[in-house]
Amino acid sequence: MENVEATSSPAMAYWPAVKSEILAEQTIGGALKDSARTWPDRACLVEGTKDYQTRRRWTFQELLEDAEVVARALLSRFRQGEHITVWAPNCPEWVLIEFGAALAGLTLVTANPAYLSNELAYVLNQSKSAGILVWPEYRNKDMLSMVESIRAEVPLLREVISLGAWAKFLRPGLHPAALPVVKPDDTAQIQYTSGTTGFPKGALLTHRGLAANALLYARTIEAKQGDVWINPMPMFHTAGCGLATLGCLQTGGIHVLPYEFDTETFVELFESEKGNLTLCVPTMLLRVLDFPGLSSRDLSGWRIATLGGAPVPPELLKKAQSALGLKLSIGYGQTESSPYITHTLTDEPRNDWFVTVGRALPNIEVRIAEPESDSLVPMGVVGEIQTRSFCVMKGYFENPEATKAALSNDGWLRTGDLGSMDPDGYIRIQGRLKDMIIRGGENIYPREVEDVLFEHPAIASVTVVGVPDQEWGEAVCAFVQLRADMTADEDVLSLFCRQKLASYKTPRIWRFVSEFPQTASGKIQKFILRRQYLEEIAQKITSNPKPNLSNGLV
């Protein structure tokens, strides 16, 4: 990345869009076609199963041909511009649906396979999905039955397509021959990200934004033609289906996709497929480093690990460099920016790069602003991180109020994250304006968890905060005030939450209180509760030199 001086006042926290990378106006389908023309017979996609012999494989040309079949199958059921949801774990079919929907001019809505029925119903209704493509079963959960159980609540849903009947879905001979014209600024995906109200918001992401962001990321980390990418990131995230899938595609890499992150499978894939790089959250890398027998594995091809989605402990970076000899880098972004905004380099000249998240990717502007006025703050002063580029979403689907709050009139995305900028443009994350909890790369919003807990008859009041956790980055901690005439313990409340929330949203740490610290206007002061919790943990650590992580000690 070129080192240039900011063009605005040098004392102010602004970094311009460096034009060192020339990008074509591109669609996701166009990127696939270009890659198939450039590397038709090269390996492109590998199914990351445990058994090497049974892994399905595609070349770039084969992937394009199969994606075009999927596109025609979709167009026999849906009209260009309609919204369709994919609800499945990582699998080659997910990739084919992503490219097929893009070629067909359909908007793909991505849904977390961990959703419970009420969460899925909300996404289907809010996105106005005309159809859903469903993996039959996930983690002993009958996903098809769950869809059928909410069908009456989702009146616009016309089609339920089982990915277990893939050949039937493709039905050769019944599909339109011609594929439509798709434009770079058309909406490619709706990805859901919760807001401060606790209700998920659907970010409208364009073909151009997703394709360009992934290419900029791949070039920044110096991905090479023929690199083997082991991708453990969930495909319903912009990291999985955007950065890894589209970054690998556009640089001539080989995309190895395991069905989910499992440490043993992840390590085995690096060994058997001679993996070169990965994008992962810190928790994944930590588990790899703790994997028994790691030193006996041939991981000599592993060159790069890039980290994002959660705070990255410096100790983790040192351990990974020592144990595996990796080049490491850190990215920062959010779904609304497709997603990356900044990134460190794989060969950083700065000695303290690991306490930053790098500086803006090429063609992307970043500034630090005073949250209330959007006015620039001086270099080194903490403010809200804001960004502007063609990677930024169009807005939130059918949510003009949230869109207005997130996007300024002149196109700046207000991230809600607090940070400061060094004179050379490097960003340091300082905290969040929002209450979002990031657990192992998953975004959790306290209001959603609080709303569920308020439904329990024994709870008088509750507030939820994020607290530091060595393994997951952050853990969900619930402070509960019980009704005077009722009782409940953490086992009862945990079970209650798991019936209404995905497991990763369920609080792991519980504290029962008699009252809450409040402002004069009656608002609970979460920062005081969090501070009290950390002080309690610090006292326990003092008396227990080997902290118990399962109890939330750090």
CA 40, 42, 44: angle at the middle one, nearest 5? 100
Rounded to 10°, the helix 28-38/92-104 angle is 110
- Options 3.40.50.300, 3.40.50.12780, 3.30.2310.20, 3.40.1260.10; which CATH number does 14-421 get? 3.40.50.12780
Rounded to whole angstroms, how far apart are CA atoms 554 and 536?
11
Residue of 521, 219, 207, 118 lying closest to 393 (CA atoms): 207
Position 519 scores a pLDDT of 55
pLDDT one-digit tens code per residue, 402-451 = 999 999 999 999 999 888 999 999 999 876 676 778 899 887 878 789 88
Position 311 scores a pLDDT of 76
Residue of 442, 509, 474, 340 lying closest to 113 (CA atoms): 442
Position 10 scores a pLDDT of 56
- Options 3.30.70.120, 3.50.50.60, 3.30.70.20, 3.30.300.30; which CATH number does 437-551 get? 3.30.300.30
CA 69, 75, 79: angle at the middle one, nearest 5? 160
- Domain coordinates in residue numbering, the chain: 14-421, 437-551
Position 549 scores a pLDDT of 38
The helix/strand/coil state of 535 is helix
Position 544 scores a pLDDT of 67
The helix/strand/coil state of 234 is coil
Helices (H), 105-236: 117-127, 143-150, 166-170, 207-220
143: phi > 0 → left, psi -120 to 50 → alpha, else beta; which? alpha
Residue of 216, 221, 429 lying closest to 311 (CA atoms): 429
What is the DSSP secondary structure assignment for residue 403, as one 8-state letter? H
Position 547 scores a pLDDT of 45
Position 475 scores a pLDDT of 94
Position 551 scores a pLDDT of 39
Query: Which string of DSSP letters, residue by residue, matches 355-402?
Result: GS--EEPTT-EEEEE-TTT--B-BTT--EEEEEESTTS-S-BTT-HHH
Position 431 scores a pLDDT of 67
* Token pair listed for 466: 């994020």
78 CB neighbour count, 10 Å cutoff: 21
pLDDT beneath 50, residues of the chain:
1-8, 195-197, 520-521, 547-554
What is the DSSP secondary structure assignment for residue 90, as one 8-state letter? S
Position 438 scores a pLDDT of 87
Residue of 255, 285, 291, 307 lying closest to 90 (CA atoms): 255
Instruction: Give the pTM.
Output: 0.83
Which of 471-494 are b and which e, b meaning 16 or more Cβ less than 10 Å from the residue's Cβ? ebbbbbbbbbbbeeeeebeeeebe
Position 346 scores a pLDDT of 93
Position 28 scores a pLDDT of 98
The helix/strand/coil state of 178 is coil
